[in-house]
Amino acid sequence: MLRLPVYLDHNATTPCDPRVLEAMLPYFTEDFGNAASRNHAYGWQAEEAVKYAREKVANLISAESQEIIFTSGATEADNLALKGVFETYVGKGNHIITCNIEHRAVLDPCRHLEKLGAEITYLKVKTDGLIDLDELESSFKSNTVLVGIMYANNEIGTIMPIKEISAIAKKKGALFFTDATQAVGKIPVDVNEDGIDLMAFNAHKIYGSKGVGALYVRRKNPRVKLAAQMDGGGHERGMRSGTLNVPAIVGFGRACEICINEMSGDAQRMGDLRDKLEIALLDIEGTSVNGNKQSRLPHVTNISFKYAESEGLMAALNKDIAVSSGSACMSASLEPSYVLKALGLGDDIARSSLRFSLGRYTTNDEIDYSIEKVTNAVNQLREMSTHLEK
Protein backbone atom coordinates (compact mmCIF):
# COMPACT_ATOMS: atom_id res chain seq x y z
CA MET A 1 0.00 0.00 0.00
CA LEU A 2 1.29 3.43 -0.93
CA ARG A 3 0.97 6.24 1.52
CA LEU A 4 -0.90 8.99 -0.32
CA PRO A 5 -0.24 11.56 -1.48
CA VAL A 6 3.14 10.38 -2.74
CA TYR A 7 5.65 12.97 -1.53
CA LEU A 8 7.75 14.32 -4.41
CA ASP A 9 8.56 17.70 -2.93
CA HIS A 10 11.84 17.03 -1.13
CA ASN A 11 13.32 20.34 -2.27
CA ALA A 12 10.78 22.05 -0.01
CA THR A 13 11.60 19.88 2.98
CA THR A 14 12.43 16.28 3.84
CA PRO A 15 11.05 13.98 6.54
CA CYS A 16 13.26 13.56 9.58
CA ASP A 17 15.27 10.34 9.24
CA PRO A 18 14.27 8.03 12.15
CA ARG A 19 17.98 7.73 13.03
CA VAL A 20 18.18 11.52 13.29
CA LEU A 21 15.10 11.70 15.51
CA GLU A 22 16.51 8.97 17.76
CA ALA A 23 19.74 10.92 18.19
CA MET A 24 17.81 14.09 19.03
CA LEU A 25 15.30 12.77 21.57
CA PRO A 26 17.48 12.54 24.71
CA TYR A 27 18.46 16.19 24.30
CA PHE A 28 14.87 17.34 24.91
CA THR A 29 14.46 15.47 28.20
CA GLU A 30 17.32 13.90 30.17
CA ASP A 31 20.18 15.75 28.50
CA PHE A 32 18.51 19.14 28.32
CA GLY A 33 21.49 21.28 29.37
CA ASN A 34 22.43 24.65 27.91
CA ALA A 35 25.63 24.24 25.89
CA ALA A 36 26.83 27.57 27.29
CA SER A 37 26.50 26.51 30.95
CA ARG A 38 30.11 26.18 32.06
CA ASN A 39 29.59 25.19 35.70
CA HIS A 40 27.95 21.79 35.70
CA ALA A 41 27.64 18.44 33.99
CA TYR A 42 24.37 19.30 32.22
CA GLY A 43 26.10 22.10 30.37
CA TRP A 44 29.26 20.11 29.67
CA GLN A 45 27.25 17.26 28.21
CA ALA A 46 25.32 19.57 25.89
CA GLU A 47 28.55 21.27 24.87
CA GLU A 48 30.13 17.89 24.13
CA ALA A 49 27.13 16.89 21.98
CA VAL A 50 27.29 20.15 20.03
CA LYS A 51 31.03 19.70 19.54
CA TYR A 52 30.51 16.23 18.09
CA ALA A 53 27.73 17.46 15.81
CA ARG A 54 29.84 20.39 14.64
CA GLU A 55 32.60 17.95 13.60
CA LYS A 56 30.14 15.88 11.57
CA VAL A 57 28.66 18.94 9.86
CA ALA A 58 32.19 20.14 9.07
CA ASN A 59 33.23 16.69 7.80
CA LEU A 60 30.43 16.58 5.25
CA ILE A 61 31.81 19.68 3.51
CA SER A 62 35.53 19.11 4.31
CA ALA A 63 35.69 22.14 6.61
CA GLU A 64 37.17 22.63 10.08
CA SER A 65 34.82 22.55 13.08
CA GLN A 66 35.60 26.15 14.00
CA GLU A 67 34.41 27.24 10.57
CA ILE A 68 30.79 26.20 11.28
CA ILE A 69 28.42 28.81 12.70
CA PHE A 70 25.06 27.35 13.70
CA THR A 71 22.00 29.41 12.80
CA SER A 72 18.24 28.94 12.73
CA GLY A 73 18.35 27.84 9.10
CA ALA A 74 19.60 28.68 5.65
CA THR A 75 17.64 31.92 5.46
CA GLU A 76 19.44 33.24 8.52
CA ALA A 77 22.78 31.96 7.22
CA ASP A 78 22.19 33.75 3.89
CA ASN A 79 21.34 36.97 5.73
CA LEU A 80 24.36 36.66 7.99
CA ALA A 81 26.71 36.07 5.06
CA LEU A 82 25.46 38.91 2.88
CA LYS A 83 24.83 41.53 5.56
CA GLY A 84 27.79 40.46 7.67
CA VAL A 85 30.23 40.72 4.76
CA PHE A 86 28.74 43.98 3.48
CA GLU A 87 28.99 45.63 6.88
CA THR A 88 32.56 44.44 7.42
CA TYR A 89 34.00 45.18 3.99
CA VAL A 90 32.03 48.31 3.02
CA GLY A 91 35.18 50.39 3.56
CA LYS A 92 36.84 48.34 0.81
CA GLY A 93 33.88 48.34 -1.57
CA ASN A 94 30.10 48.11 -1.76
CA HIS A 95 29.56 46.04 -4.91
CA ILE A 96 28.09 42.54 -4.76
CA ILE A 97 27.53 40.20 -7.72
CA THR A 98 24.71 37.66 -7.55
CA CYS A 99 22.23 36.21 -10.06
CA ASN A 100 18.56 36.43 -10.86
CA ILE A 101 17.58 32.85 -9.96
CA GLU A 102 18.82 32.93 -6.37
CA HIS A 103 16.46 31.89 -3.59
CA ARG A 104 14.43 34.70 -2.02
CA ALA A 105 16.62 34.27 1.09
CA VAL A 106 19.47 35.76 -0.98
CA LEU A 107 17.57 38.16 -3.24
CA ASP A 108 15.66 39.85 -0.42
CA PRO A 109 18.73 40.60 1.72
CA CYS A 110 20.36 41.98 -1.43
CA ARG A 111 17.38 44.31 -1.95
CA HIS A 112 17.71 45.34 1.68
CA LEU A 113 21.41 46.08 1.25
CA GLU A 114 20.68 48.21 -1.81
CA LYS A 115 18.67 50.50 0.47
CA LEU A 116 21.76 50.73 2.69
CA GLY A 117 23.97 51.80 -0.20
CA ALA A 118 25.10 48.52 -1.73
CA GLU A 119 25.47 48.24 -5.46
CA ILE A 120 24.23 44.85 -6.64
CA THR A 121 24.67 43.20 -10.03
CA TYR A 122 22.05 40.52 -10.74
CA LEU A 123 23.56 38.34 -13.46
CA LYS A 124 21.09 36.85 -15.90
CA VAL A 125 21.22 33.12 -16.44
CA LYS A 126 21.35 31.46 -19.85
CA THR A 127 18.35 29.43 -21.07
CA ASP A 128 19.83 26.38 -19.34
CA GLY A 129 19.83 28.08 -15.92
CA LEU A 130 23.60 28.50 -15.61
CA ILE A 131 25.41 31.82 -15.50
CA ASP A 132 27.75 32.92 -18.27
CA LEU A 133 31.31 32.96 -16.91
CA ASP A 134 32.48 35.68 -19.31
CA GLU A 135 29.62 37.86 -18.18
CA LEU A 136 30.58 37.19 -14.57
CA GLU A 137 34.17 38.13 -15.26
CA SER A 138 33.25 41.38 -16.96
CA SER A 139 30.85 42.44 -14.21
CA PHE A 140 33.63 42.99 -11.65
CA LYS A 141 34.44 46.55 -10.66
CA SER A 142 37.12 48.06 -8.47
CA ASN A 143 34.60 48.08 -5.59
CA THR A 144 33.47 44.44 -5.86
CA VAL A 145 33.79 42.69 -2.50
CA LEU A 146 31.56 39.65 -2.80
CA VAL A 147 30.21 37.16 -5.32
CA GLY A 148 27.13 35.23 -4.17
CA ILE A 149 25.98 32.48 -6.53
CA MET A 150 23.90 29.50 -5.44
CA TYR A 151 25.36 26.00 -5.69
CA ALA A 152 22.22 24.29 -6.98
CA ASN A 153 18.89 25.83 -7.83
CA ASN A 154 15.89 24.81 -5.74
CA GLU A 155 13.35 24.92 -8.59
CA ILE A 156 15.17 23.31 -11.50
CA GLY A 157 18.02 21.51 -9.73
CA THR A 158 20.74 22.91 -11.98
CA ILE A 159 24.26 22.97 -10.54
CA MET A 160 26.31 26.11 -11.16
CA PRO A 161 29.98 25.86 -12.29
CA ILE A 162 31.13 26.56 -8.74
CA LYS A 163 34.87 25.89 -9.15
CA GLU A 164 35.06 28.21 -12.15
CA ILE A 165 33.06 30.91 -10.40
CA SER A 166 35.16 30.79 -7.24
CA ALA A 167 38.39 30.89 -9.28
CA ILE A 168 37.23 34.06 -11.02
CA ALA A 169 36.20 35.65 -7.71
CA LYS A 170 39.58 34.78 -6.20
CA LYS A 171 41.47 36.17 -9.18
CA LYS A 172 39.51 39.41 -8.84
CA GLY A 173 40.13 39.63 -5.10
CA ALA A 174 36.50 39.17 -4.03
CA LEU A 175 35.06 36.73 -1.51
CA PHE A 176 32.88 33.89 -2.76
CA PHE A 177 29.64 33.00 -0.98
CA THR A 178 27.26 30.24 -2.06
CA ASP A 179 23.81 29.18 -0.89
CA ALA A 180 24.35 25.43 -1.04
CA THR A 181 21.13 24.41 0.72
CA GLN A 182 20.06 22.13 -2.13
CA ALA A 183 23.50 20.70 -2.82
CA VAL A 184 25.00 19.80 0.55
CA GLY A 185 24.25 16.18 1.43
CA LYS A 186 23.03 15.43 -2.09
CA ILE A 187 26.23 15.76 -4.11
CA PRO A 188 29.87 16.04 -2.98
CA VAL A 189 30.60 19.57 -1.70
CA ASP A 190 34.15 20.38 -0.61
CA VAL A 191 34.73 23.96 0.50
CA ASN A 192 38.44 23.75 -0.30
CA GLU A 193 38.25 22.08 -3.69
CA ASP A 194 35.32 24.30 -4.58
CA GLY A 195 37.08 27.47 -3.39
CA ILE A 196 34.21 28.57 -1.15
CA ASP A 197 34.66 31.32 1.47
CA LEU A 198 31.14 31.36 2.91
CA MET A 199 28.37 28.80 2.48
CA ALA A 200 24.81 28.51 3.76
CA PHE A 201 22.91 25.24 4.24
CA ASN A 202 20.43 23.65 6.62
CA ALA A 203 19.24 20.43 8.24
CA HIS A 204 15.65 20.11 7.06
CA LYS A 205 16.61 19.58 3.43
CA ILE A 206 18.85 16.66 4.43
CA TYR A 207 16.50 14.66 6.68
CA GLY A 208 17.21 16.68 9.82
CA SER A 209 14.91 18.98 11.71
CA LYS A 210 13.55 22.35 10.72
CA GLY A 211 14.87 25.41 12.51
CA VAL A 212 18.60 24.75 12.29
CA GLY A 213 21.21 25.52 9.69
CA ALA A 214 24.78 26.65 9.36
CA LEU A 215 27.02 29.19 7.79
CA TYR A 216 30.48 27.99 6.83
CA VAL A 217 32.96 30.84 7.32
CA ARG A 218 36.52 30.30 6.03
CA ARG A 219 39.22 30.75 8.69
CA LYS A 220 42.34 30.80 6.52
CA ASN A 221 43.37 31.67 2.94
CA PRO A 222 41.65 34.04 3.41
CA ARG A 223 40.30 34.52 6.93
CA VAL A 224 36.79 35.91 6.45
CA LYS A 225 35.53 38.49 8.91
CA LEU A 226 31.86 38.87 9.56
CA ALA A 227 29.76 41.43 11.43
CA ALA A 228 27.24 39.66 13.68
CA GLN A 229 23.60 40.27 12.85
CA MET A 230 22.40 38.92 16.19
CA ASP A 231 24.01 40.44 19.26
CA GLY A 232 23.76 38.90 22.69
CA GLY A 233 25.75 36.40 24.71
CA GLY A 234 28.56 36.08 22.18
CA HIS A 235 27.78 32.49 21.19
CA GLU A 236 29.29 30.99 18.02
CA ARG A 237 32.50 32.99 18.42
CA GLY A 238 30.54 36.21 18.57
CA MET A 239 29.06 35.73 15.11
CA ARG A 240 25.62 34.50 16.16
CA SER A 241 24.39 35.00 19.69
CA GLY A 242 21.56 32.98 21.20
CA THR A 243 21.26 29.72 23.12
CA LEU A 244 22.04 26.85 20.79
CA ASN A 245 19.20 24.58 19.71
CA VAL A 246 21.00 21.51 21.04
CA PRO A 247 18.54 18.77 19.96
CA ALA A 248 18.29 20.17 16.43
CA ILE A 249 22.07 20.59 16.19
CA VAL A 250 22.64 17.02 17.39
CA GLY A 251 20.19 15.87 14.71
CA PHE A 252 21.93 18.02 12.08
CA GLY A 253 25.22 16.29 12.95
CA ARG A 254 23.62 12.86 12.69
CA ALA A 255 21.96 13.82 9.38
CA CYS A 256 25.35 14.87 7.99
CA GLU A 257 26.96 11.66 9.20
CA ILE A 258 24.31 9.63 7.36
CA CYS A 259 24.85 11.70 4.20
CA ILE A 260 28.59 11.04 4.32
CA ASN A 261 27.92 7.30 4.37
CA GLU A 262 24.90 7.04 2.10
CA MET A 263 24.96 10.02 -0.25
CA SER A 264 26.47 8.30 -3.27
CA GLY A 265 24.17 5.29 -3.06
CA ASP A 266 21.12 7.50 -2.54
CA ALA A 267 22.08 9.69 -5.48
CA GLN A 268 22.46 6.69 -7.77
CA ARG A 269 19.12 5.22 -6.74
CA MET A 270 17.22 8.52 -6.87
CA GLY A 271 18.85 9.37 -10.19
CA ASP A 272 17.57 6.13 -11.73
CA LEU A 273 14.05 6.78 -10.44
CA ARG A 274 14.14 10.43 -11.54
CA ASP A 275 15.26 9.38 -15.03
CA LYS A 276 12.47 6.83 -15.21
CA LEU A 277 9.90 9.46 -14.19
CA GLU A 278 11.30 12.04 -16.57
CA ILE A 279 11.46 9.73 -19.58
CA ALA A 280 7.89 8.58 -19.00
CA LEU A 281 6.53 12.11 -18.57
CA LEU A 282 8.37 13.33 -21.66
CA ASP A 283 6.40 10.70 -23.57
CA ILE A 284 3.40 12.97 -23.11
CA GLU A 285 3.10 15.34 -26.06
CA GLY A 286 4.12 18.97 -25.54
CA THR A 287 6.45 18.45 -22.59
CA SER A 288 9.99 19.63 -21.96
CA VAL A 289 12.55 19.68 -19.17
CA ASN A 290 13.62 23.04 -17.74
CA GLY A 291 17.29 23.69 -17.05
CA ASN A 292 20.55 22.02 -17.98
CA LYS A 293 20.09 18.25 -17.87
CA GLN A 294 23.78 17.41 -17.43
CA SER A 295 24.74 19.76 -14.62
CA ARG A 296 21.82 18.86 -12.40
CA LEU A 297 20.96 17.33 -9.03
CA PRO A 298 20.10 13.64 -9.42
CA HIS A 299 16.73 13.78 -7.66
CA VAL A 300 15.10 16.76 -9.37
CA THR A 301 13.24 17.36 -12.59
CA ASN A 302 11.20 20.41 -13.59
CA ILE A 303 8.87 19.75 -16.49
CA SER A 304 6.64 22.03 -18.55
CA PHE A 305 3.31 20.61 -19.74
CA LYS A 306 2.10 22.78 -22.58
CA TYR A 307 -1.60 23.71 -22.31
CA ALA A 308 -1.92 22.30 -18.79
CA GLU A 309 -1.73 24.98 -16.10
CA SER A 310 0.08 23.83 -13.01
CA GLU A 311 -2.62 25.25 -10.70
CA GLY A 312 -5.17 22.99 -12.36
CA LEU A 313 -2.73 20.10 -12.49
CA MET A 314 -1.87 20.35 -8.83
CA ALA A 315 -5.54 20.63 -7.89
CA ALA A 316 -6.24 17.47 -9.91
CA LEU A 317 -3.23 15.70 -8.39
CA ASN A 318 -3.09 16.80 -4.81
CA LYS A 319 -4.80 13.71 -3.38
CA ASP A 320 -2.30 11.54 -5.23
CA ILE A 321 1.01 13.38 -5.41
CA ALA A 322 2.59 16.23 -3.46
CA VAL A 323 4.54 18.31 -5.96
CA SER A 324 5.05 22.00 -6.43
CA SER A 325 5.14 24.65 -9.06
CA GLY A 326 8.16 26.71 -8.25
CA SER A 327 9.39 27.02 -4.70
CA ALA A 328 7.51 26.54 -1.46
CA CYS A 329 7.89 30.20 -0.55
CA MET A 330 6.36 31.31 -3.84
CA SER A 331 3.52 28.83 -4.05
CA ALA A 332 1.13 31.17 -2.24
CA SER A 333 1.25 33.57 -5.18
CA LEU A 334 -0.22 32.99 -8.63
CA GLU A 335 2.70 34.73 -10.28
CA PRO A 336 4.67 32.44 -12.58
CA SER A 337 8.04 31.39 -11.21
CA TYR A 338 10.73 34.06 -11.61
CA VAL A 339 13.26 31.27 -12.03
CA LEU A 340 11.49 29.80 -15.04
CA LYS A 341 10.93 33.26 -16.47
CA ALA A 342 14.66 33.94 -16.08
CA LEU A 343 15.30 30.94 -18.36
CA GLY A 344 13.27 32.75 -21.01
CA LEU A 345 9.98 30.87 -20.59
CA GLY A 346 6.82 32.83 -21.34
CA ASP A 347 4.21 33.34 -18.61
CA ASP A 348 1.93 30.60 -19.97
CA ILE A 349 4.53 27.88 -20.17
CA ALA A 350 6.11 28.93 -16.86
CA ARG A 351 2.64 28.57 -15.32
CA SER A 352 2.38 25.06 -16.79
CA SER A 353 5.42 23.58 -15.07
CA LEU A 354 5.86 21.23 -12.16
CA ARG A 355 8.86 20.45 -10.01
CA PHE A 356 9.33 16.83 -8.95
CA SER A 357 11.93 16.28 -6.24
CA LEU A 358 12.57 12.73 -5.05
CA GLY A 359 13.98 11.64 -1.74
CA ARG A 360 15.78 8.97 0.23
CA TYR A 361 12.61 6.93 0.73
CA THR A 362 11.05 7.33 -2.72
CA THR A 363 10.17 3.90 -4.14
CA ASN A 364 9.80 2.47 -7.60
CA ASP A 365 6.07 1.87 -6.90
CA GLU A 366 5.62 5.52 -6.01
CA ILE A 367 7.21 6.54 -9.30
CA ASP A 368 5.03 4.14 -11.30
CA TYR A 369 1.96 5.52 -9.54
CA SER A 370 3.04 9.12 -10.15
CA ILE A 371 3.68 8.53 -13.85
CA GLU A 372 0.17 7.18 -14.28
CA LYS A 373 -1.51 9.94 -12.28
CA VAL A 374 0.36 12.82 -13.90
CA THR A 375 -0.18 11.45 -17.40
CA ASN A 376 -3.93 11.10 -16.79
CA ALA A 377 -4.21 14.51 -15.15
CA VAL A 378 -2.42 16.27 -18.02
CA ASN A 379 -4.54 14.54 -20.65
CA GLN A 380 -7.77 15.28 -18.78
CA LEU A 381 -6.90 18.91 -18.23
CA ARG A 382 -6.07 19.36 -21.90
CA GLU A 383 -9.33 17.70 -22.97
CA MET A 384 -11.29 19.95 -20.66
CA SER A 385 -9.63 23.07 -21.97
CA THR A 386 -10.20 22.13 -25.62
CA HIS A 387 -13.87 21.49 -24.78
CA LEU A 388 -14.05 24.91 -23.20
CA GLU A 389 -12.57 26.52 -26.28
CA LYS A 390 -15.16 24.90 -28.56
Stretch that binds ligand PLP, among 35-43, 54-62, 73-81, 254-262 (CB under 6 A): 73-81
CB closer to ligand PLP out of 5 and 148: 148
- Of 75, 98, 178, 370, the one binding ligand PLP (CB under 6 A) is 75
Q: Which amino acid is at 334?
A: L
Contact between 181 and ligand PLP (CB under 6 A)?
yes
Closest distance of CB 83 from ligand PLP, Å: 15
In angstroms, the CA 314 to CA 318 distance is 6
CB closer to ligand PLP out of 12 and 281: 12
CB closer to ligand PLP out of 144 and 154: 154
Task: Kindly state the helix (H) or strand (E) to which residue 289 belongs, with its residue range.
Answer: strand 287-289
In angstroms, the CA 77 to CA 41 distance is 30
**What pairing do the DSSP bridges indicate for beta strands 198-202 and 213-217?**
antiparallel
Closest distance of CB 45 from ligand PLP, Å: 27
Stretch that binds ligand PLP, among 68-76, 117-125, 229-237, 238-246 (CB under 6 A): 68-76
Stretch that binds ligand PLP, among 19-27, 179-187, 312-320, 362-370 (CB under 6 A): 179-187
In angstroms, the CA 388 to CA 251 distance is 52
In angstroms, the CA 162 to CA 181 distance is 14
Cβ count within 10 A of residue 41: 11
CB closer to ligand PLP out of 226 and 300: 300
- Of 103, 218, 274, 373, the one binding ligand PLP (CB under 6 A) is 103
Rg (CA), the chain: 22
Beta-bridge partner residues of 68: 216
Per-residue interface string for the shown chain with ligand PLP, residues 194-213, x marking contact by CB under 6 A: --------x--x-------x
Per-residue interface string for the shown chain with ligand PLP, residues 245-284, x marking contact by CB under 6 A: ----------------------------------------
Contact between 154 and ligand PLP (CB under 6 A)?
yes
Contact between 182 and ligand PLP (CB under 6 A)?
yes
Stretch that binds ligand PLP, among 40-48, 72-80, 120-128, 256-264 (CB under 6 A): 72-80
Stretch that binds ligand PLP, among 69-77, 157-165, 217-225, 257-265 (CB under 6 A): 69-77
* Binding residues for ligand PLP, total number by CB under 6 A: 13
Cβ count within 10 A of residue 336: 21
Backbone φ and ψ for 255, nearest 5 degrees, come out as -60, -40
Contact between 74 and ligand PLP (CB under 6 A)?
yes
CB crowding 94-118: b at 16 or more within 10 Å, else e: bbbbbbebbbebbbbbbeebeeeeb
In angstroms, the CA 251 to CA 71 distance is 14
CB closer to ligand PLP out of 332 and 388: 332
Contact 14, 205 (CB under 8 A): yes
In angstroms, the CA 21 to CA 210 distance is 12
Contact between 79 and ligand PLP (CB under 6 A)?
no
Contact between 105 and ligand PLP (CB under 6 A)?
yes
Q: Determine whether 329 is an active site residue.
A: yes
Distance of CA 206 to the CA centre of its chain: 10
Q: What is the DSSP letter of 17?
A: P
Cα torsion 135, 97, 335, 153: sign: positive
- Is the bond preceding residue 161 a cis peptide, omega within 30 degrees? no
Closest distance of CB 245 from ligand PLP, Å: 12
Active site residues: 329
Binding residues for ligand PLP, rule: CB under 6 A, are 73-75, 103, 105, 150, 154, 179, 181-182, 202, 205, 213
